[in-house]
Every structure is written in C-alpha cells, then in structure tokens.
C-alpha cells in the first residue's frame, strides 16, 4: 500500500488537512532557515568586498577601498575565531 492508496482511502474532506499540515511544515522550515541565515551573517551586504583584493584598488573609490579594508579585517578576525573554536572542538573530541 503506497502513499497514493493511503490518500485515496481517506474520506472526503481529509485531503485539505494534509495540505494544511504540509503547508505549515513548509512555512516552519522557511522561517527556521531564514532565522539560521540571519544568525550566521548570511545577509551581510558587505560580503561583496570579500571577492576583491589590493589589486582592485584602482576599480574602487577611496571610500569603497577603505570599506573593503575594514571588511577584510573583519572577515579575517571571524576566520581566526572560527578556526580557534574548531581547534578547541577537535581537541575536546580527541579526549
């Protein structure tokens, strides 16, 4: 007996409840993923500067270049912090 047979065996009117449950699950998953993205800096508009480096200075205004340098430093600090936490986690697991 497959899922199609199960759905066909239900009385009239029950399919709307299945759609409501599936819809609620989709909304819940969407909200959870947006919340995760917001907490993990996935909506950072300064991320566009990460693809540039010192060689791209002539392609930016001085203000943009200064902003890019700030972003590079911030991203470097985040990377160091992540690597530090990762090393601590691996050390704890090795015990």
Domain containing 66 equals 44-95
pTM score: 0.52
Contacts of 62 (CB under 8 A, 6+ apart): none
Confidence at 1, pLDDT banded by 50, 70, 90:
low
38 and 84 belong to one structural domain:
no
Please tell me the number of Cα atoms within 13 Å of 6 on its side-chain side.
4
What percent of the chain has a predicted confidence (pLDDT) above 70?
Answer: 99
25 and 55 belong to one structural domain:
no
38 and 56 belong to one structural domain:
no
pLDDT tens-digit series, residues 43-70: 877 878 888 888 888 888 999 889 989 9
31 and 51 belong to one structural domain:
no
51 and 72 belong to one structural domain:
yes
Confidence at 2, pLDDT banded by 50, 70, 90:
confident
CB 60, CB 52: distance < 8 Å: yes
pLDDT tens-digit series, residues 70-84: 988 988 898 899 899
């Amino acid at each position: 007996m497959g899922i199609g047979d199960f759905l066909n065996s239900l009385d009239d009117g029950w399919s709307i409840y299945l759609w409501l449950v599936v819809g609620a699950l989709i909304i819940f998953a969407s909200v959870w993923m947006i919340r995760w993205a917001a907490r993990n800096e996935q909506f950072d508009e300064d991320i566009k500067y990460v693809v540039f480096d010192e060689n791209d200075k002539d392609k930016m205004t001085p203000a943009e270049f200064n902003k890019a340098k700030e972003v590079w430093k911030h991203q470097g600090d985040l990377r160091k912090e992540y690597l530090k936490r990762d090393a601590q986690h691996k050390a704890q697991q090795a015990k």
